[in-house]
């Protein structure tokens, strides 16, 4: 069995990438601020979704139990520990909201009637207040989650703490999804979008954790929850369930919009089905559903080290493509074009996040929310 080995060299490499990306982003803010902020927001939303999804999984496991959650706990805790780095990534967008949100600086008389009716909710001071409230909720939940899931198992005596935490977490995700995703196109309305975002976050966090587990130890040979079942199979099956949930919710939103013949909502899909974005959609269908579906149904693949590593990486790549497809089209007037400000934003924000992630993954005792205790073993 291989032991996890994540030397500090990974953090050093991420720091170099982050420095280069941040320098290019600084130049981008002068040369093309709108494209730079659009790319930065997309990367920030993807990175913030990872610790939020990890918290969801840890709290769900606190209610249900299971060996799968015990195995995923170390990488999930390292992902949650990046929350204090992921939340500030949205601050540059708050500095220039008019470049991202069409309602932030537009003349109210030029806005559609459907958008004007939402301006009591969609205004910058209220947006900032809601973001601060969500950030406080998540920081408290992050501290509690890491404390409860410490190696000495200092969780609550009953599942009430996890249940209350999931309710608060769900409300915060709902407000966050409306503010930072739906309000980019304020004419679009979806009552299921927050659930899609929550499911996507769980898929991303689970895929990342499975990839880290498969890259560091032989989980395909470790015992699972039942006889003749490997731990890798249990983890792959759990990720498969999360992927199916995301697929169902995404398909139901599309079905309701088209069956209801809703012009504003249909336009949301039309924008994402042209100018090159349809190619990205096919990549999402392949990476987030078709290829994983075939792999997760194959027991030899789930019992293979390369198979598990590949499934985790493919689903994680599909999740990133999904975030880009849902957020980026409304912020681009030139179609699906990959520009250097987008690459700079991915390098800068992603590098900063990876520094914290590998720092915590290499040594769990470095997790800042450890509540004064150190990891054992």
Q: pLDDT below 70 — which residues of the chain? A: 1-9, 106, 152-158, 218, 220-228, 335, 365-366, 368-377
Rounded to whole angstroms, the Cα distance separating 293 from 91 reads: 37
pLDDT of residue 349: 95
Question: Residue 252 corresponds to which tokens in the numbers above?
Answer: 């139901």
234-269 pLDDT, tens digit per residue, is 888 899 999 999 999 999 999 998 888 777 788 899
Where in the chain are the domains? 15-366
pLDDT of residue 1: 41
Reduced to 3 states (helix: H, G, I; strand: E, B; else coil), residue 303 is coil
Contact 253, 193 (CB under 8 A): yes
Please state, rounded to an integer, the average pLDDT across all residues of the chain. Answer: 86
Rounded to whole angstroms, the Cα distance separating 38 from 329 reads: 10
Contact 347, 18 (CB under 8 A): yes
Contact 126, 179 (CB under 8 A): no
Sign of the Cα torsion 184, 189, 191, 192 reads negative
Is the entire prediction scored with pTM above 0.85?
yes
């Amino acid at each position: 069995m291989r032991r996890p080995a994540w030397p500090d060299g990974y953090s050093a490499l991420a720091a170099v990438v982050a420095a280069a990306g941040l320098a290019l982003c600084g130049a981008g803010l002068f040369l093309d601020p709108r494209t730079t902020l659009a790319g930065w927001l997309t990367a920030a939303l993807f990175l913030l979704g990872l610790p939020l999804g990890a918290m969801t999984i840890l709290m769900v496991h606190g209610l249900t139990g299971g060996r799968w959650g015990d195995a995923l706990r170390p990488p999930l805790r390292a992902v949650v520990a990046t929350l204090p780095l992921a939340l500030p990534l949205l601050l540059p967008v708050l500095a220039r909201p008019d470049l991202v949100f069409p309602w932030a600086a537009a003349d109210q008389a030029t806005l559609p009637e459907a958008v004007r009716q939402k301006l009591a909710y969609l205004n910058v001071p209220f947006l900032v207040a809601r973001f601060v409230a969500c950030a406080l909720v998540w920081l408290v939940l992050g501290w509690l989650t890491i404390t409860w899931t410490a190696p000495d198992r200092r969780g609550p005596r009953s599942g009430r703490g996890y249940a209350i935490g999931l309710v608060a977490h769900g409300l915060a995700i709902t407000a966050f999804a409306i503010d930072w995703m739906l309000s980019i196109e304020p004419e679009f309305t979806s009552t299921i979008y927050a659930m899609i975002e929550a499911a996507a976050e769980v898929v991303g966090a689970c895929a990342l954790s499975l990839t880290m587990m498969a890259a560091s130890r032989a989980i395909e040979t470790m015992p699972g929850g039942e006889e003749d079942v490997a731990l890798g199979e249990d983890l792959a099956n759990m990720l498969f369930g999360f992927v199916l949930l995301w697929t169902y919710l995404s398909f139901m939103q599309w079905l309701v919009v088209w069956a209801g013949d809703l012009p504003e909502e249909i336009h949301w899909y039309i924008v994402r089905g042209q100018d090159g974005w349809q190619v990205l959609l096919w990549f999402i269908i392949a990476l987030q559903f078709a290829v994983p579906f075939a792999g997760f149904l194959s027991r030899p693949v789930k019992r293979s080290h390369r198979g598990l590593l590949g499934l985790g990486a493919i689903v994680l790549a599909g999740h990133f493509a999904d975030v880009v497809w849902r957020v980026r089209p409304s912020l681009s007037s030139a179609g699906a074009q990959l520009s250097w400000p987008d690459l700079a934003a991915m390098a800068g924000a992603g590098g900063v996040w990876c520094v914290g992630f590998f720092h915590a993954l290499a040594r769990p005792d470095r997790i800042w929310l450890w509540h004064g205790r150190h990891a054992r073993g």
